[in-house]
Amino acid sequence: MSDTEPETADEEIVVAVSDFLDGLRTEVWRAEIAARIAAEPAWQQVHAEMVETRKVAGTLSGLQKARLPATFAQDVTATIHKRSAGRFFARRTLGDRVPFGVLAIVALLAIAAMGYLMWASQTGSLAPSRDPEPAHHGSGALVAPP
Amino acid sequence: MNELERSLLRRLRDRDERAFRELIEGHRDRVYNITFRMLGNRAEAEDVAQEVFITVFKTIETFREESKFSTWLYRVTVNHCKNRIKYLARRHDRDRDELDETSNGQNNAAGGAIGGPAPPAPDRALEGAQMEKLLQDAIGHLDDEHRVVVVLRDIEDLSIEEICEITGLPDGTVKSRLHRARLALRKKLQRHVGEET
């Protein structure tokens, strides 16, 4: 326990005067405390100290607010990734690192290319067009055996 | 706890990385402000703030929603600060109570995070910086139990009830420690004013 730890009796006065200055509790109670402050030196002392120290508190509330660098969140998550070897955060079905945007563009380009090919095709199919073979009608190419 | 916070917690428990980032963005400055005022050194404070969030991520399952999430978060923050203070004391780190002299420049360069809307006159800015250093120095000389209550109450403006929840101390002890801490600060400040005049 530190040397500034309050004794019980002292604490009772401090709590009461603190509540009194904060305007807490009932009017009756406050009147009672006001009477004790007026009459008892120990209460008077705590009251005077507390009025003074509240000015210090006011000065502290005006202290500048410290701010972290903008990359802090990234730094923390990077540290977590590093320490857990990437196993800490839940993986999505296809993983977090799948470049969905790039994949969507590639897919659109592929569909457009296929559409163009079908449009340019004579048959309306992606399969290469096959010209019908010339017909051979009894010209002697095939000679029946005697 | 509102529905938005509950939803964030659910996502945190599912280890959703984006939820973690949202959590950090929502609380980073307050956590850092506590660590900085507790430790008095920006580099240490940033390191501890990072450890706080990592601990929160790792132990989010243990948060039972009996208190506000922020209360739990500040409890983790305070515990980390106390541990770091002990560690630094063991190492006899003499930089503990040093206010980083480059801090104002860094913060202003980072977009005016510190300071009012208009730049103060040079003499007033110096006065402000001196006061800042003096106060931080005085806070740094408090023992850690007193420092906690002053930082939470007078700098972070948390209620006595919240401080009781964070520290696990009874109401009377918090009020009493707060009074003693303020007395010690006033003494320190008066001594400084006495030395100057």
Give A42-71 as a DSSP string.
HHHHHHHHHHHHHHHHHHHHTSPPP---TT
pLDDT at A131 over 70: no
Q: Is the pLDDT assigned to residue B39 strictly greater than 70?
A: yes
Which of A11, A65, A80 best probes binding to B when mutated, by most B CB atoms within 10 angstroms?
A: A65
pLDDT at A14 over 90: yes
A-chain CB neighbours of B53 within 8 Å are 76
A94 interfacial to chain B (CB closer than 8 Å) = no
- State both tokens at B166: 């964070």
Q: Is the pLDDT of residue B125 over 90?
A: no
Q: Cβ separation of A73 and B50 shorter than 8 Å?
A: no
pLDDT at residue B61 greater than cutoff 50 = yes
CA distances from B124 to A24, A56, B61, B120, B185 (A): 38, 19, 49, 6, 23
Identify all chain A residues contacting B28, using CB atoms and an 8 Å cutoff: 68, 72-73
How far, in whole angstroms, is CA B182 from its chain's centroid?
Answer: 17
Of B60, B66, B56, B78, nearest to B158 (Cα)? B78
pLDDT at B170 over 50: yes
Which phi and psi (to 5°) does residue B105 adopt?
Answer: -60, -45
pLDDT band at A5 (very low <50, low <70, confident <90, very high): very low
Residue B113 neighbours by CB distance under 10 Å: 17
Residue B103 pLDDT greater than 60, yes or no: no
Q: State whether the Cα torsion A103-A106-A110-A112 is positive or negative.
A: positive
Of chain A, the percentage scoring pLDDT greater than 90 comes to 35
Mean pLDDT of A87-95: 58
Candidates A72, A73, A89; nearest CB to B15: A89
Q: What is the 3-state secondary structure (H, E, C) of B43-57?
A: HHHHHHHHHHHHHHH
3-state secondary structure of A7: coil
The pLDDT score that the predictor gives to residue B130 is 84
Chain pair A-B, CB pairs under 8 angstroms:
134
Instruction: In whole angstroms, give the CA distance from residue B46 to residue B110.
Output: 15
Which are the contacts of B50, defined by CB distance < 8 A and separation ≥ 6? A72, A75, A76, A79
Q: What is the DSSP letter of A24?
A: -
pLDDT of residue A144: 54
Task: Find the range with the poorest average confidence among A98-112, B92-106, B183-197.
Answer: B92-106
Res. B108: pLDDT tops 50: no
Residues in contact with B25: Cβ distance below 8 Å, sequence separation at least 6, in sequence order: A73
pLDDT band at residue A2 using 50, 70 and 90 as cut-offs: very low
Q: Go through the domains of chain B in sequence order and give each one's CATH number.
A: 1-97 (1.10.1740.10), 141-197 (1.10.10.10)
Amino acid B195: pLDDT: 66
Task: Find the angle CA(B9)-CA(B12)-CA(B14) to the nearest 5 degrees.
Answer: 115
Does residue B29 contact residue B147 with C-beta atoms inside 8 Å?
no
The mean pLDDT of A134-139, rounded to a whole number, is: 54
Q: Specify the residue for token string 């770091």.
A: B84
Q: Which residues are CB-neighbours of B125 under 8 A, at least 6 positions away? A: B119
B114 or A107, higher pLDDT:
A107
Quick check: B37 pLDDT over 60? yes
Question: What confidence tier does A13 reach under pLDDT thresholds 50, 70, 90?
Answer: very high
A63 with B135: Cβ contact below 8 A: yes
In A51-70, the residues whose Cβ lies within 8 Å of chain B are: 52-54, 56-57, 59-61, 63-70
Find, among B51, B99, B173, the residue nearest to A5 by Cα: B173
pLDDT above 60: residue A4: no
Please tell me which residue of chain B has the smallest CA distance to A66.
B33
pLDDT bin (cut points 50, 70, 90) of residue B55 is: very high
Please tell me the pTM assigned to this model. Answer: 0.70
Burial of A140 (0-12, 13-18, 19+ CB in 10 A): exposed
**ipTM of the modeled complex:** 0.71
A57 vs B25, B42, B154: nearest CB: B154
For testing the chain B interface, which of A52, A60, A92 should be mutated: the one with the most B CBs within 10 Å?
A60
For range B132-146, the mean pLDDT? 91
Does A15 score more than 90 pLDDT? yes
Q: Are B131 and B99 in contact (CB under 8 A)?
A: no
Predicted pLDDT at B99: 53
Residue A49 has pLDDT above 50, yes or no: yes
- Domain extent listing, chain A: 8-61
At B192, is the pLDDT very low, low, confident or very high (cuts 50, 70, 90)? confident
- Is A126:A114 a contact under the CB 8 Å cutoff? yes
B135 interface with A at CB cutoff 8 Å: yes
Nearest to A76 by CA among B40, B25, B73, B42: B25
On the question of pLDDT at A109 being above 90, the answer is: yes
